[in-house]
Amino acid sequence: MIYSFSQWLLFFYIYCFIGWVWETCYVSVMQAKWINRGFMRGPFLPIYGSGAIMILICTLRFRTQAIPVFFFGMISATILEYCTGATMEKLFHVRYWDYTGKPFNINGHICLVSSLAWGAFSVILTLYGHTPIEGFVLGMNHNLLEFLAFVLTVVISIDMFESIREALNLKEMLLSLEENNVEFRRIQKRIEIIQAFYGTELKEKSEVGLKKINTAIVSGKELYDKYGIHKNRKSVTKTVFLANLERARARKEERLHYLSDATETYAEWMKGLAVKDEAVLQAIAEARNMISGQKRNILNMKNKEYIKLRALLKRNPDAVSKMHEQAFSEIMEITEKEGKDEPKR
């Protein structure tokens, strides 16, 4: 059977929607809560639509033979899944699905169970599922078909554009957090240089600083305690999220305060010394510059940006970042723990 371009488009959108229904129901049951699953914000999963089209192209000639359909569909869909997963990770530095813990996986992008599932879906789709959908699309009025294909293309293109922008924003934030963590380590190295010359007082400052850092872990709790009890569960979730964000800021501020305090202590100390050690003076100057930059970074932690990322990560609860594990864990610490500290009702 030869389909027109608009018919192929409509098949693609229909299978994107069916894939979203399947994936959302499956993940929601596994997570025991409703999850609007997928890379996009709307009810479409392009990986399923693309997989279905790939399977149909490869298997329609064998549409009454289950075994060839199973193997051709499994192979073609698995290749598509691997290429899509690898490309997305390359572009966005995040894996939106990860099979690393599954047996017989390849780079976490595909695994044996997933491939077998694609084979089973190929049989169901080609031998049974596609026939009624094919009849529906082929029986549609030509003008209506063209109109629906056009409207859906516009809507899904806008959604895809916004979703890609969100994913790129997440990538930028991961890179920024990674750079921030490196900067913190560099500041610590400068402090260690000073410590090598004047270790006793730094040790005392360190003990005080560690207590401040531990205190910072519960910073933001007052915000939650004050506003956490709402009848509307959605409000509770957002409030906890903002409290988590406040905690993250507090932790960074306290850590920075400790490093800044230690740096300035030694800067004052150096003023009273008859002979100045150039290595220590340089370490102090570099630490001051880095601390100033980190203060600006903390101020740039905007709630609006994190709220957008929260929506993307909620749709993809299994997402991971192998490239930026520490930075990704910091973001997940803010976004995924919502509701765990909710007060009992």
* pLDDT tens-digit map of 30-41: 878 888 888 999
* pTM of structure: 0.73
d(CA 83, CA 91): 12
Give percent of the chain with pLDDT exceeding 70: 66
Burial 263-275 (b: 16+ CB within 10 A, else e): bebbbeebeeeee
The pLDDT value given to residue 227:
40
In a domain, 342, yes or no: no
At position 255, the amino acid (one-letter code) is R
In this structure, the answer to whether residues 200 and 324 fall within a common structural domain is yes
Asked if pLDDT for residue 257 goes beyond 50, the answer is: yes
Residue 194, classified by CB atoms within 10 Å of its CB into exposed (0-12), middle (13-18) or buried (19+), is buried
In this structure, the answer to whether residues 116 and 264 fall within a common structural domain is no
In this structure, the answer to whether residues 306 and 180 fall within a common structural domain is yes
In this structure, the answer to whether residues 205 and 72 fall within a common structural domain is no
In a domain, 153, yes or no: no
In a domain, 60, yes or no: yes
In this structure, the answer to whether residues 243 and 297 fall within a common structural domain is yes
In a domain, 125, yes or no: yes
In a domain, 310, yes or no: yes
In this structure, the answer to whether residues 177 and 242 fall within a common structural domain is yes
In this structure, the answer to whether residues 93 and 240 fall within a common structural domain is no
In this structure, the answer to whether residues 173 and 317 fall within a common structural domain is yes
Of the listed ranges 143-152, 153-162, 246-255, the least confidently predicted one is: 246-255
In which domain, by residue range, is 27 found? 5-140
Dihedral, CA of residue 111, residue 112, residue 118 and residue 120, to nearest 10: -160
In a domain, 184, yes or no: yes
Half-sphere exposure of 270 (CA within 13 A, CB side): 19
In terms of pLDDT, which residue wins out, 166 or 304? 166
In this structure, the answer to whether residues 136 and 280 fall within a common structural domain is no
How many domains are there within the chain?
2
